[in-house]
Structure 1
Amino acid sequence: MKRLPIAAVLAVFFGWLLWSVSVRQAALFLVGIGLGAVLAGQRFGFTTGWRMLVEEKDASGIFGQLLLLALAAAMAMPLLGHFPELTAALGPPSISLLVGAFVFGLCMQIADGCGSGTLYKAGMGIPMNTAILPIFAIGSFLGSLHLGWWLDLGHTAPVGLITEWGWAPALGATLAALAAIAAGVAWYARRANAALGRAPRPLLVRKWLVGAVLLAVFATLNLVIAGQPWGVVYGFGLWAAKVANATGAVDLAGNWFWSQPGNAARLHETVLLDVTSITNIGILGGALWIAAGKPAAAKALTGTQWAVALAAGLVLGYSSRLAFGCNVGAMFSGISTGSVHGWIWVPMAFMGTIFGLRIRRHFGF
């Protein structure tokens, strides 16, 4: 399909949202299209950036992500400090977070995508990610069913740096921590490449820098319009939960997660009123528009590789719920809005990535 027909369909859907749902949801749909177009157009993959550092000693993807975090924090934290109606992406430090983040980091390398990566690659028509998307949703829903049990293993109240310190000190500490990580990553990449007898790769690459700037802008628009930070995996779990609830497959009335007022209300509303779902739909549309007329580049998989990838996708969804988000909801939105749980998520997920890459190599992905 060519870009013009896709643009026409997206425009009609935007107009219908504007007329039949709300101005806010229509605006968030446009934000989602922008996010999807940037993710797909710049191939800004969180999973890929981590893999490049570990396997190729190329730190450019990590530097793009650090720039994204810094820009988003610089825009989000003053807004959160001045407008109390806006909410941060807070998650409780917990056993659930530790386990979920580690397992998520492992599985995202096998499945070749985190939440946003799976979404935009599915929008581009890449077969493996397209097949994983509904499996991811089922896994996220299953994780929500068990989240209460996981939290009973041990958790503390969420900690927000803006609430504890104020937005200016929180921003200063966040930027300082990101700068320290950048220095450490640059040192590691330089030493690793020198040990291999080759020149260091450039740290600043245009596609990552452009992607970082544009994603930070669209994420800030999401925060202002939705009143909450950009997220991905909640929408996946909600889609599966609505199917399960409508078919009577599971009684959700007594479930700890789905009996909470906000979640219970979303179960009985149209999915188009959920802010995460509407941006997810927009991301699919934006990625589809970028990929229009271009065949999806995809490696042919064996039966074993398909089985491993789909299993990883299921566990990816499950662990994302335990970890209170993926690279977007937990890492990006958590850190950029001052949540301590985002800083816990990153090292656990990175350790998982190291193991995931070994499994990925073993199965020849």
Structure 2
Amino acid sequence: MNNRLALTLVFAVFTAFLFWFVSIRQSLLFIVGLGLGGVLAGARFGFTTGWRNLIEKRDASGVFAQLLLLAVAAGISLPLLALFPTELSAALGPPSISLLVGALVFGGAMQIADGCGSGTLYKAGLGIPLNMAILPVFALGSFLGSVHLGWWLDLGNIKPVGLVQEVGLSGAMALTYLGLIAIGLAAWFWSKTSGGSRILFNKTLIIGALLLALLAVLNFVIAGQPWGVVYGFGLWAAKIATASNLFDPSTNAFWSQPVNATALEQSVFLDLTSITNIGILAGALWIFSRNKTGETKKLTSQQWLVGIIAGFLLGYSSRLAFGCNVGAMVSGISTGSLHGWIWVVMAFAGSLIGVRIRRYFNY
């Protein structure tokens, strides 16, 4: 029996386990996660890489693929939100000092660590050593960020702004697509090389973007909430800390909230974000079982140290920023959250710094 067939059987058994012992919804979300991981790994759809290629190589193909993902996901998700306001919830986050600092730091750290939340997951599934090592410290950082989030929010915040609620469906659609067009034009101008040529489209990334958009919407419909990544990381670390009597959630502003306290008490298989994350890891592993695409580049001890620190900052800052490229950018923008747009501006500014740091350490 080859590795791919064995993995397929394992995933089928796990799906059946979720269906029978947990819930139909969780089994479906695991399947969606498998698809997300398979597409991310198969197309090497990297949010981080797309931004870095634009900055360093004037290659806008990754950014244009991300814009397509956002356009398709928003075109379906925003009307769904308007039609089912009680059944579906947007990925809202409060504009705040926390958001500004978190997104800026995350943008820089993801370039150094060569992966955002989803990128860390699928690259760990592909067997890339640095990302495998980063995953646990990402979780630790996310947990500590959640523990400190109340302090950060006290520095200044306003209530979350949802475009569908504030300006209606037509206004939300118009503002969203105007924003995407503005980013597309900026990327188009930036992409011009010294010779006058431009790299705008990549067939593999375009197909990946379309598939990811449809899977993100499917996740939205099944879960009742948008696709997210970093909450699951923080929850895993919080469970370990609580079980080890190292942390008392009842005294913390974030983890004492009813929804978070319930997530801590119940099985991780009942958490919507965690089960999708497990699926992404599994989907990437399935791709790896055939292609053996794990990274073979040797890193120095200094590069390892810097990468691990960046991974911790990824987790910490993503919690402060209310999401990563998935939870804040893809899900935030596609469901009409103002914080998603703020996140993009700050994270790209951070990436400009992060690319320079990455170059300095010769990654």
- Does 2:174 match 1:172? yes
Selected match of 1:227 from 210, 224, 228: 224
Give me the TM-score of the superposition, normalised by structure 1.
0.97
Distance (Å, rounded) in 2 between the aligned partners of 1:123 and 1:322: 26
Q: Structure 2: give runs of 5+ residues left out of the alignment.
A: none
- Does 2:138 match 1:136? yes
Where do 1:175-194 residues align within 5 Å?
175-190=177-192, 193=193
Contact 2:191 2:199 in 1 (8 A): no
Distance (Å, rounded) in 2 between the aligned partners of 1:71 and 1:264: 34
Instruction: Give, in angstroms, the shift of residue 280 of structure 1.
Output: 0.2
Where do 1:19-168 residues align within 5 Å?
19-84=20-85, 85-168=87-170
Contact 2:100 2:342 in 1 (8 A): yes
Distance (Å, rounded) in 2 between the aligned partners of 1:232 and 1:51: 21
Distance (Å, rounded) in 1 between the aligned partners of 2:337 and 2:225: 13
Distance (Å, rounded) in 2 between the aligned partners of 1:111 and 1:328: 16
Instruction: Give, in angstroms, the shift of residue 297 of structure 1.
Output: 2.4
Q: Residue 130 of structure 1 aligns to which amino acid in structure 2?
A: M
Contact 1:78 1:168 in 2 (8 A): no
Instruction: Give, in angstroms, the shift of residue 205 of structure 1.
Output: 1.1
Computed over aligned residues only, the root mean square deviation of the Cα atoms, in angstroms, reads: 0.9
Q: Residue 103 of structure 1 aligns to which amino acid in structure 2?
A: V
Q: Structure 1: give runs of 5+ residues left out of the alignment.
A: none
Distance (Å, rounded) in 2 between the aligned partners of 1:168 and 1:232: 29
The count of corresponding residues between Structure 1 and Structure 2 is 360
Instruction: Give, in angstroms, the shift of residue 170 of structure 1.
Output: 0.4
Secondary structure at the aligned position of 1:166 is classed as helix
Query: Runs of 4 or more off by more than 6 Å in structure 1?
Result: none
- Does 2:340 match 1:342? yes
Instruction: Give, in angstroms, the shift of residue 176 of structure 1.
Output: 1.6
Structure 1 equivalent of residue 260 of structure 2: 263
- Does 2:328 match 1:326? no
Q: 166-175 or 106-115, which moves further after superposition?
A: 166-175
Distance (Å, rounded) in 1 between the aligned partners of 2:228 and 2:100: 19
Deviations 1:193-231 (A, max 9, x none): 0xx3x3523312101110110000000000000000000
Instruction: Give, in angstroms, the shift of residue 171 of structure 1.
Output: 1.0
Distance (Å, rounded) in 1 between the aligned partners of 2:301 and 2:272: 37
Selected match of 1:309 from 307, 310, 317: 307
Distance (Å, rounded) in 2 between the aligned partners of 1:348 and 1:181: 14
Distance (Å, rounded) in 1 between the aligned partners of 2:307 and 2:90: 33
Distance (Å, rounded) in 1 between the aligned partners of 2:6 and 2:198: 40
Distance (Å, rounded) in 1 between the aligned partners of 2:69 and 2:144: 31
Instruction: Give, in angstroms, the shift of residue 298 of structure 1.
Output: 3.1
Selected match of 2:247 from 222, 226, 250: 250
Selected match of 2:352 from 348, 351, 354: 354
Distance (Å, rounded) in 2 between the aligned partners of 1:339 and 1:319: 19
Q: Residue 64 of structure 2 aligns to which amino acid in structure 1?
A: F
Q: Residue 271 of structure 2 aligns to which amino acid in structure 1?
A: D
Selected match of 2:289 from 292, 306, 312: 292
Distance (Å, rounded) in 2 between the aligned partners of 1:184 and 1:100: 24
